[in-house]
Structure 1
Amino acid sequence: MALSPQVAEVAFPLAAVVSIVASGLAVSRLERVAGRLGFSEAALGLLVALAADSPEITSAVSALLHGHADIGAGVVLGSNVFNLAALLGLAALVAGRLRLHRRVAALDGVAATWVAAVCVVVVATPLGPAPGLALVAAGVGPYIALTVLSERTLERLRIPPAAADWCRQAVAEEVADFAPAVDRTPYRPRDAAVAAGSLAVVIAASTVMERTAQSLGARWHLSGLVVGGVVLAGVTSLPNVVGAIHLARRGRGSAVLSEALNSNMLNVVAGLFVPGVIIGLGPSGAGTLVAVWYAALTVVSVLLVWWGRGLRRPAGIVIIAGYLAFVGAAVTR
């Protein structure tokens, strides 16, 4: 059902605020639930990243369900470009310098670059989301195993001691950065219900946000690339930005990098490939531009982190400039 412009202009910002507030509430309650269930810090980090990504994932799925492939792909991939600029670039400007070991950059960076490369292939060629999902699983599965599994389990898998030790040190550095930011409030029985209810509100509000953005985009003659890759991508990524700035101010460089890159990988899998397998991706010529930009900026960001053993303000400016160039290309396309 088409919405009137007047209704859409009110509903979009209202839905955006509701979605952001509800996703923040869901993240805090999920942290308590996961702590009650005995999740490791690394597993908790992945869960929190998935919950924080729920607005963009829901908006992307809603767009794909309604046949707007450019908006659906744009939300996911545009969010990833925005995440790199806001979670890494802006965080570096705020903190002055984010320090981390090259082990962390290599562990997170290789997995993130692999997912970005697969994303370009899926969006730009007839390969399809199902093979893309298999390629992601093959490349990222070992990363998740190394991040989540216990030392005893890793020993049972007979990973070479030197490699296992290297990976354990990288994971330990990430966990040490992430742990102080976790909500340590004791679990209460209602937390699970609040988490589930908050996620339901996020799904409803993000769906409204996508529908109203599509309506306003049509009224203002904006392309699906701009609506999805710039407007929705930026708004739905704000919960991640708040968390990253908080971590950056406390000097948690490894946690900031992990949040940015893990968030992007989860966006691709849960917001694009999995729904693409179920309902199809559809043609998205503009999606190729966003995918290539996302992959290129991922490589640049990882290399800057590796080279500088973290990020200083000049590197942050380079990443933000890359995002602004993407916005310019999207608007003028």
Structure 2
Amino acid sequence: MLQGWLVQVGVVVASVVGLWVGARWLVDAVGRLARRAGLSDLTIGLTVVAVGTSTPELAVSVDAAAKGLGDIAVANVLGSNVYNLAFILGVVAVVRVIPIAESLVRRDGVALLASVVAVGAVLADRVVTRVEGAVLLALFVGYTGALLWTGRGSAAADGADASAETGDRAERVSFRARDAVLLVAGLALVLVSGDRLVVAASALARGAGVSEWVIGGTIVAAGTSTPEFAVSLVALRRGSLGVSVGNVVGSNVFNATGIVGVAALVGPLSVSPSAFATLAWLAGVSAVMVAALWTGRVLSRLEGTLFAGSEVVRWVLGLLG
């Protein structure tokens, strides 16, 4: 039995690595396309990078929906969103105090809160139907279309600093055959790794007597969020604050609307009552985060520490409860 457990843990670890590598290939390839199209740093972070780093969540949730594992499909999304806001932005703020662009607070902060309300509304009866999934997906398409329409060529308005602009010019290259290979290979790696992660996590949950909801909202959620974590830290180191913060906010909007929407189209999602506790935690973290950004237009190291600590508490309570 111990050998089987170790094998499943190994599969989980290998799957997380595969998700991270595959998502980075996707982001690098598609990011070059976006920069060549003249999109600003913040817009790229909110759209292209956000969707790219969320491909693990998409692969895992869609695969779980196809297998009839609604708890893992939805818990992965809600858990990833809490992890993104509390832990990733928290750690990023500890590394460096983050000044926030006004547009991110007023426009995208509202979109973030609206996405939580939307996913909460469709989960009220613990079932997400195909019709509700289509509505969520339409909301995401509308939001992204508006960002792309208004964000083209607005790098200066988003407050990109000189180092970020230098990076933009350095990466403004053509979309080559190598990028096409990276895009396809990255997508394939994400899909395969996502499938293996769902299977292994389900087996671990059953063997340990832990609910699929808890596994999906903690281990799977953190695993599928590794690309967001890596991209945010790398972008911060390069001085690209728009990508670092926009990646997290955009990923959360995409997760709550686009991913739940697509997963529900694959198959109606039924969830356990545990969904409401995670949803309430997500709503609370989202509201406090937006309020903190709105009042101070900066995320301090103290605030970052408190947010990251709250995620550690959520994990402990979930795994022990």
Q: Same fold (TM over 0.5)?
A: yes
Question: Which residue of 2 is the match for residue 50 of structure 1?
Answer: 51
For residues 278-297 of structure 1, the aligned pairs below 5 Å read: 278-297=266-285
How many Å apart are 1:208 and its aligned residue? 0.5
Contact 1:73 1:284 in 2 (8 A): no
The offset of 1:20, in angstroms, is 1.1
Alignment correspondent of 1:17: 17
Distance 1:118 1:175 in 2: 31
- String of CA shifts for 1:32-80, please: whole Å, max 9, x gaps: 24445x3633664312211111112111122222222211111111000
Can you list the C-alpha shifts for 1:140-163, whole angstroms capped at 9, x where unaligned?
83x5344211589xxxxxxxxxxx
Contact 2:62 2:263 in 1 (8 A): yes
Indicate the larger mover: 110-119 or 194-203: 194-203
- How many Å apart are 1:312 and its aligned residue? 0.4
Cα–Cα, structure 1 residues 276 and 146, in superposed 2: closer, same or farther, change >3 Å?
A: closer
CA contact (8 A) 2:54 2:228 kept: yes
Q: SS state of the match for residue 232, structure 1?
A: helix
Partners of 2:39 and 2:154 within 8 A in 1: no
Matches of 2:175 and 2:141 in 1, distance apart? 31
Distance 1:151 1:247 in 2: 19
Alpha-carbon distance, 1:137 to partner: 4.2
User: What's the counterpart of residue 233 of structure 1?
Assistant: 221
Which of 302, 305, 309 aligns to 2:293? It is: 305
Unaligned runs of at least 5 residues, structure 1: 153-167
1:9 and 1:135, CA in 2 relative to 1: closer, same or farther beyond 3 A?
A: closer
Q: Could you say which residue in structure 1 is the equivalent of 2:230?
A: 242
Q: Aligned partners of 1:62 and 1:196: how far apart in 2?
A: 19
- Distance of 2:126 and 2:209 partners within structure 1: 29
Distance 1:296 1:281 in 2: 24
Q: After superposition, what is the alpha-carbon deviation per residue over 1:181-229, rounded to whole angstroms, capped at 9, x for unaligned?
A: 6544543223113211211111111111111111122112221122110
**Structure 2 counterpart of 1:61:** 62
Residue deviations 1:278-333, cap 9 Å, x none? 31111332222222211211111111111111100111122223322322332243
The amino acid of 2:115's aligned partner reads: V
Measured in 2, the distance between the counterparts of 1:228 and 1:319 equals 21
Matching residue of 1:79:
80
TM-score (norm 1): 0.83
Q: What is residue 122 of structure 1 aligned with on the other side?
A: 122
Q: Residue 74 of structure 2 contacts residue 271 of structure 2 at CA under 8 Å; is this kept in 1?
A: no
Unaligned ranges ≥5, structure 2: none
Aligned AA (1:238)? T
In 2, the alpha carbon distance for the partners of 1:133 and 1:180 equals 40
CA deviation profile, 1:14-38 (whole Å, cap 9, x unmatched): 22212211211121112224445x3
Distance 1:65 1:239 in 2: 24
* 2:39 corresponds to: 40
Q: For 2:281 and 2:304, how far apart are their aligned partners in 1? A: 17
Given the alignment, which residue of 146, 152, 172 partners 2:157? 172
* C-alpha separation in 1, matches of 2:26 and 2:139: 30
Structure 1 CA distance for aligned equivalents of residues 241 and 250 of structure 2 = 14
- TM-score between the two structures when normalised by the length of structure 2: 0.86
8 A Cα contact 2:49 2:247, kept in partner? no
Query: Cα RMSD over matched residues?
Result: 2.9
SS in 2 for 1:228: helix
Structure 1 residues 62, 179: CA separation in 2 closer, same or farther (over 3 Å shift)?
Answer: farther
TM-superposed CA distance for 1:102, in Å, is 3.4
Q: Closer, same or farther in 2 for the Cα pair 1:318/1:102, shift >3 Å? A: farther
